Structure 1
Amino acid sequence: MIRTSFGALALLAAIPFVTPANAQSAQEQLDVRYGRALAAGYKALFLCSAIANAEANGATRTPQSVHEWELTGIQSPLNEIVKELPYEILRAQEAGTIDQVRVSWADDMPPRLARYQPKFGCDLLPIGSPLLDPREPLEVIVARDTREITTDEAALDETVSRRLSSMAFAGGYGEGSRTTSILVTKGDQIVLEDYVEGFDPSTPQRTWSVAKSIAATLVGWAVQAGEVIVDQPVALGYWRTQDDPRRSITVDHMLRMASGRYSDTPGNRTDPLYWGGATVDESATAWPIVFQPGSVYRYANNDTLMAVKAIQSYLSYYRPMDFFEKLGMNHTVAETDHRGGYILSSQAWTTARDLAKLGQLYLNDGVSPDGERLLPEEWRNYVSDPSGPQPEGTEWGYGAGWWTFRRPEGNSFEGIPDDAFAARGNRGQYLVVVPSRNVVIVRRGEDMVGTRFDIAAFTRDVLAALD
């Protein structure tokens, strides 16, 4: 077993995880300790996923690179904790692939553990899990592009390309934003592609909430197969009594963030699942209903997770990786919790080119490069239709798992067609599809908390350049 470590684990006891007891209440001490446990889980999972998934693609990431990009500028209080935590990266002796990552966080508890499985990426074990015996060797599986999008260098003027790239990478679309890649296709040809140093076409990044749009796509796949109908109740058996109003929640409600269920924060902080090692079943299913389904918009990771649960039986036979393969998305991994539940509200890893291939599927109205219909006819119109309750305080509309540039009352984005729609994720992950222009736009980043990339302005400028 090959080990890579940072810091001396023996010194962990010297790292305080609480301030003096007389300065904090018992609840404050508990919160500080929980914050350290979450920070350790965050670090273990990102080190594991970023490095192992890149190596599976034939790319290279180092712990230093992950600290510079994924572990910098993250949510508080994790940002103040995560870098100091000692870690170990354990590799299989013969294959050399990552087996597990351990991050220590308290002297009286085991390290947090993330483990890697080829083709499934990394999962995170619960807080307090005992150390695992390393597995040797792991199979080496390197993904290769079998359907590359072709490049047409003449399609976009070189001067314009340089200007767009310069603005994207130098903060021209948001002060302090950190772009890692941009990619634009027209038809099935790349007309603009650029990467920051240390990233390339084979380097995957976490999708964050772009995974919600991937989840909606997989639901469409199951609809096309006849396995689910979006207007029927989710019917998972979690809400068993006849008088439980949650029995009336449909897949459509879940995709549109309109289930009416309570969530303790606005959707993007599912900490027990993302960083605590809880499972989808434990964390997403039991929330009570507080509004009539279909009446109120509430952005919630749990709704997407339950939409995926609605097609769980289908995905047990026809896995996300099988769908990705049909599109040539060979550098994409849908990761799971430690019991195999897909965390498709956030936890997928993919490249800019693979996202472009997903966008191309929608340009082709759900037909694969091989001519197979993967999504129902008009599924593109369904996911990009901002019907039902809408988010407040924004010009964006929301469809079924995808954001829209128009709201029911109209389009406020000058220079962007009404039919444009987008997948959006934390830290600046964007996939924009513009069917009327036959254009796909991808922007990947690691934007720090408090900064934002203006994807609408970038989309407008790209479309203007392609006129």
Structure 2
Amino acid sequence: MKRLAIIILNIMLLMPVLAVAQQEETYDYWQHQRDMVRRGQQAIFMCNGLFTSNRTLEQIFEQELAFFREPIGTPDGGDYEVLWDRRAVEIGAPGAVPVMRAAFREGIGCVILPPDQTLEDIDRLPELTLPYPPGDPAQIPWPDGDFIENTILPSNVDEEKLLAASNWAFDRESPEQVTLSLIVVYNGQIVHERYAPGFDITTRTRTWSTAKSVASTLIGMLVDEGKLVLDDPLGFDWYPRVRSPEADPRNEITLRHVLNMSSGLETVDNGGLEYAIGSGMSYWAGASSVVGARSRAVIREPGTYW
């Protein structure tokens, strides 16, 4: 009896260890999507470098792709194809992971295509053609043009600290970022401007997250015009559809909440899944960001957590 009790006790002591072992996941269930996203990333970076910035493959592999752990190919070739006439890039070979494609569209830049789209779908993608403003930008004062009237640094700006910050931006070691250009504006005046080798004031680049500032400014203009209301509900049809959609707590989310990044919707872009699901799939693999947002569950009261 005593021996049986000891055996039972040992089993009970082992149970928490076994439970922890069962809860740990060592298999990456998202590896397929990570590989697809990596291909999509390289497609966007190469397309942007070649057709937006008009740079060479050598420059792109040296700078834009510098933080990629294992970029596909080299400037001399590899498992990718540049379609110069279509202004598009294909990354990877057909297989378990799909070929990812990015194409340049006038006035928009490079667009990632979903895996089920081919080169034949490029012409159906939107373009934005606007006439250039009149006059020579070099002769028009900034911000309407490129001419800088006053190059004297304001007396209350510490030049040494300004240069130190600039050097940090360009020279720091970063696993995922390379600074290609920097402009510092103080009281409506450009006080510092700098570019990495191979870039200058005329080099077009992808806007990245500066698009958030542009978008919020445009939204603010529409609010001033009375065409948008910050505190009105978004008015979405949320997923999944339920029997009583009017009772969906996500109906309380307003435009202000979204602009403040306090919608309360579950965020999936963390915990090692940044490049596997969520916005990573939208940005780099062509998934619908609208469907993704409308499918998120609300986990906090809107407006209470940033």
Match of 1:319 in 2: none
- Is the 2:90–2:100 contact (alpha carbons within 8 Å) kept by the matching residues of 1? yes
Match of 1:291 in 2: 300
In percent, how many aligned pairs have the same letter? 27
- Is the 2:43–2:91 contact (alpha carbons within 8 Å) kept by the matching residues of 1? yes
Aligned counterparts of 1:260 and 1:134: Cα–Cα separation in 2: 36
Match of 1:316 in 2: none
Aligned counterparts of 2:169 and 2:118: Cα–Cα separation in 1: 47
The one of 145, 150, 161 aligned to 2:147: 150
103 and 153 in structure 1: CA distance in 2 versus 1, 3 angstrom threshold: same
Number of equivalences = 252
Aligned counterparts of 1:127 and 1:207: Cα–Cα separation in 2: 24
Aligned counterparts of 1:139 and 1:243: Cα–Cα separation in 2: 40
The one of 84, 90, 112 aligned to 1:91: 84
Aligned counterparts of 2:190 and 2:298: Cα–Cα separation in 1: 46
The one of 167, 171, 193 aligned to 2:168: 171
The one of 56, 66, 74 aligned to 1:62: 56
Secondary structure of residue in 1 paired with 2:152: helix
- Is the 1:181–1:194 contact (alpha carbons within 8 Å) kept by the matching residues of 2? yes
| 1:111 and 2:99 aligned | yes
Aligned counterparts of 1:228 and 1:42: Cα–Cα separation in 2: 34
The alpha carbon displacement at 1:229 in A equals: 0.5
The alpha carbon displacement at 1:206 in A equals: 3.3
Match of 2:285 in 1: 276
Aligned counterparts of 2:204 and 2:265: Cα–Cα separation in 1: 33
64 and 41 in structure 1: CA distance in 2 versus 1, 3 angstrom threshold: same
The alpha carbon displacement at 1:189 in A equals: 4.1
- Is the 2:107–2:128 contact (alpha carbons within 8 Å) kept by the matching residues of 1? no
Residue deviations 1:295-321 (CA, integer Å, cap 9, x gap): 222xxxxxxxxxxxxxxxxxxxxxxxx
**Which protein is richer in helix relative to its size?**
2
| 1:125 and 2:113 aligned | yes
- Is the 1:71–1:83 contact (alpha carbons within 8 Å) kept by the matching residues of 2? no
Opposite residue 295 of structure 1, the aligned amino acid is: T
Aligned counterparts of 1:162 and 1:61: Cα–Cα separation in 2: 32
191 and 224 in structure 1: CA distance in 2 versus 1, 3 angstrom threshold: same
- Is the 1:222–1:228 contact (alpha carbons within 8 Å) kept by the matching residues of 2? yes
| Stretches of structure 2 lacking an aligned partner (at least 5 in a row) | 1-24
The alpha carbon displacement at 1:231 in A equals: 0.8
- Is the 1:48–1:122 contact (alpha carbons within 8 Å) kept by the matching residues of 2? yes
Match of 1:405 in 2: none
TM-score (norm 2): 0.69
Residue deviations 1:94-128 (CA, integer Å, cap 9, x gap): xxxx5211111554665211112111212111124
The alpha carbon displacement at 1:287 in A equals: 0.2
- Is the 1:272–1:283 contact (alpha carbons within 8 Å) kept by the matching residues of 2? no
Aligned counterparts of 2:167 and 2:118: Cα–Cα separation in 1: 45
The alpha carbon displacement at 1:173 in A equals: 8.6
Residue deviations 1:354-387 (CA, integer Å, cap 9, x gap): xxxxxxxxxxxxxxxxxxxxxxxxxxxxxxxxxx
Opposite residue 153 of structure 1, the aligned amino acid is: T
Residue deviations 1:23-44 (CA, integer Å, cap 9, x gap): xx9954x644332221111111
Aligned counterparts of 1:170 and 1:186: Cα–Cα separation in 2: 18
Aligned counterparts of 1:114 and 1:208: Cα–Cα separation in 2: 16
Secondary structure of residue in 1 paired with 2:218: helix
Secondary structure of residue in 2 paired with 1:119: coil
Secondary structure of residue in 2 paired with 1:184: strand
The alpha carbon displacement at 1:199 in A equals: 1.0
163 and 179 in structure 1: CA distance in 2 versus 1, 3 angstrom threshold: farther
Aligned counterparts of 2:214 and 2:122: Cα–Cα separation in 1: 32
Aligned counterparts of 1:278 and 1:173: Cα–Cα separation in 2: 33
| Stretches of structure 1 lacking an aligned partner (at least 5 in a row) | 1-24, 55-59, 74-78, 93-97, 298-467
Task: Give RMSD over aligned pairs.
Answer: 3.5
Secondary structure of residue in 1 paired with 2:111: strand
The alpha carbon displacement at 1:149 in A equals: 4.5
The one of 72, 95, 98 aligned to 2:66: 72
TM-score (norm 1): 0.47
Aligned counterparts of 1:197 and 1:215: Cα–Cα separation in 2: 30
**Which protein is richer in strand relative to its size?**
1
Secondary structure of residue in 2 paired with 1:192: strand
- Is the 2:232–2:255 contact (alpha carbons within 8 Å) kept by the matching residues of 1? yes
* Equivalent residues in 2 for 1:332-351, closer than 5 Å: none
Which of the two has higher C-alpha Rg?
2
171 and 68 in structure 1: CA distance in 2 versus 1, 3 angstrom threshold: same
The alpha carbon displacement at 1:184 in A equals: 3.0
